[in-house]
Structures are given as structure tokens and as C-alpha cells.
Amino acid sequence: MCVEMGIVMPFGAHMSISGGVSKSFARGQQIGCDAMQIFCKNDRQWSAKPLTPEEIAAFHAEQARTGIGPVIVHDSYLINLAAPGDELWEKSIAAFSDELERCALLGAPYLVTHPGAHTGSGEETGLLREAVALNRIFSEGVGGSVTVLLETTAGQGSSLGNRFEHLARLFELVPHHQRLAICVDTCHIFAAGYDIRTAEGYEATFAELDRLVGLERINCFHLNDSQKGLGSRVDRHAHIGQGMIGQEAFRLLVNDPRFRGIPMIIETPKGEAMLEDIENLSLLRSLVAAA
């Protein structure tokens, strides 16, 4: 863990669960993860076999062995809790509920989700649909105390969450605030039009997020550079400092005392040997100001 000037920044990456969820820890240890993000099932399938007691025990044993934590789970990209059609909406609620229960079994505190896509029904209708789904899930106690993290999006297509106002509206509509927080993705907010490349732009962006939502609701960051330009609304991740955002925004972020202790996860392109992850994490740690 990076500890400089009293700032503790748990850095990590999204890791593969190939071979079983417990296998992610050895991979995370290999690249030097403090924290880690995973899928809790195949992200391209609606359903999966239940986690066995053996898998759950192996997961807990590997977490204890490596000390990696927190482990954040990202939901399947098939899920759309804002879908206007009942068939997809109900299917999404069932799949999301299953993932929340899997998180609870694994002891993962957070489940990250994109706030859905309205697919032509309109932003307000989509947000209302998302809120009804979340309220139903939370009212039924699904997932115990697992917190849902609404991720900022690039706004590609009809995706919701590209404006901070969308997140604020969901907090208005969903009263279960003890189970709802946010995940800020640097690539996504930049592609959505929030310019964080300079100190002035960075401060203005987070002042706006604080005004509308509250910085205390940030429980995770996704640190990704962007292949596309400001306001492009295209979600394409790039290596840290090698995209259109550049290093300065990341230097500002990893040294921001307001975000001390919040896990910062990279989702940058990687090869089989994961050397890119090692390089990106090393660069981020090097940007933390020396005492």
C-alpha cells in the first residue's frame, strides 16, 4: 500500500476469475494489488451455477493469505435496470439480485453497476425505472449490507450516469442511502465532458460532484486514461498518461487528501503476462508526492 504524507491509497486492478473466483488473488498478488476488482461470475452470461461452499472457503483463504482488499465486484454488462421493457427489466433484476447475494457470500462490500440505459424511453423515465428496481431489491433485503456503487459513465448511446445530475436524481429516488454510493471512472467522466486535465478543471469537476451528490458518497475510483477526446461520449480506456487525459489529472487525484483510503482500480488494456498492469500501477504510485 502506498503511504506518503499520511495519504493511504489502495491501488489495484480488475483481475480475471478464470478457473474460479479464488484464482483472482494469485493474479492480483502477481501485479502488486492492494485492492482488487473482479466479476463474480461469467460477465457474458445471465446465470451461473451457485457458488459452492468449497469455492467460498477458498476465496476467503486466498484473501487472508494475500491480504488483498477490499475486493470490489463489477456486475455483468448484460444487466440493465433502466430497461423500459418488462422482460429485460425483470431478467436484469433477477441477475443483479443474484450478484448481490454472491457478493454477500464472498464478503465483497461493493457491487459496481452502470446506471443502465433508457434505450429511447428518455432519461427521466430510465432513471425512474432504475430507482424502482433498486428500491425493490433493497426493500427485500437482497445482498444484506452489500453497497451498490453507481458508476459514472461516458454517456455512450442511451446510457445514463454521464451527468452528475443523473446520480443526484437516483439518490433522490432511492432512500436506501446506506446501501448506495458511487464509483467515479476518470475515462468516463472525461468522455462525458468533465475536463480534469488541469488543477482548475479538476477542482471544478469535483466541486460540482460535491454540490450535486457529495464527495463522501465516493467509495471507489476507476483510474483509466481515455483513447477519445473530451466530451466524445465514447468509452475507450487507455493506459495511464498515454491517452487524452494525461498524467496531471492522475497526479492530482492520487494526492487528493479527500480521497485517502478509497480504492483506486485500473481497468486498462492488458496482455497475458499483465506487464501493462504492473507498469500502470507503478506509474500511479510514483505520482504520489514524496514526504
Helices 199-212, 247-254: axis angle to 10 degrees equals 50
Tell me whether residue 237 is one of the annotated catalytic residues. yes
Tell me whether residue 60 is one of the annotated catalytic residues. no
Tell me whether residue 43 is one of the annotated catalytic residues. no
Tell me whether residue 44 is one of the annotated catalytic residues. yes
Catalytic residue among 34, 98, 130, 235: 235
Instruction: Give the Cβ contact number of residue 209 at 10 Å.
Output: 21
Tell me whether residue 176 is one of the annotated catalytic residues. no
Tell me, yes or no, whether 6 lies in a domain.
no
Give the residue among 92, 170, 178, 161 at the shortest CA–CA distance from 131.
Answer: 170
Tell me, yes or no, whether 2 lies in a domain.
no
Q: Are strands 110-113 and 71-74 parallel, antiparallel or unpaired?
A: parallel
Instruction: Please state, for a pLDDT cut of 90, what percent of the chain lies above it.
Output: 95
- The model's pLDDT over 22-71, given as tens digits with 9 standing for 90+, comes to 999 999 999 999 999 999 999 999 989 999 999 999 999 999 999 999 99
Domain range for 244: 13-266
Task: Tell me the CA distances in angstroms from 160 to 139, 177, 251, 270, one per residue in order.
Answer: 23, 19, 28, 27
Tell me, yes or no, whether 105 lies in a domain.
yes
Tell me, yes or no, whether 271 lies in a domain.
no
Q: What is the CATH number of the domain that holds 160?
A: 3.20.20.150
Q: Can you give the pTM of this predicted structure? A: 0.96
- The model's pLDDT over 156-176, given as tens digits with 9 standing for 90+, comes to 999 999 999 999 999 999 999
According to DSSP, the residues that pair with 225 across neighbouring strands are 238
Tell me, yes or no, whether 276 lies in a domain.
no
Tell me, yes or no, whether 287 lies in a domain.
no
Catalytic residue among 98, 99, 130, 151: 151
Domain count, the chain: 1
Residue 291: per-residue pLDDT: 45
Q: Are 10 and 1 in contact (CB under 8 A)?
A: yes
Tell me whether residue 188 is one of the annotated catalytic residues. yes
Catalytic residue among 118, 163, 166, 222: 222
Tell me whether residue 14 is one of the annotated catalytic residues. no
* Residues recorded for the chain: 291
Residue 290: per-residue pLDDT: 58
Tell me whether residue 202 is one of the annotated catalytic residues. no
Catalytic residue among 14, 27, 74, 163: 74
Tell me, yes or no, whether 213 lies in a domain.
yes
- The model's pLDDT over 199-228, given as tens digits with 9 standing for 90+, comes to 999 999 999 999 999 999 999 999 999 999
Tell me, yes or no, whether 288 lies in a domain.
no
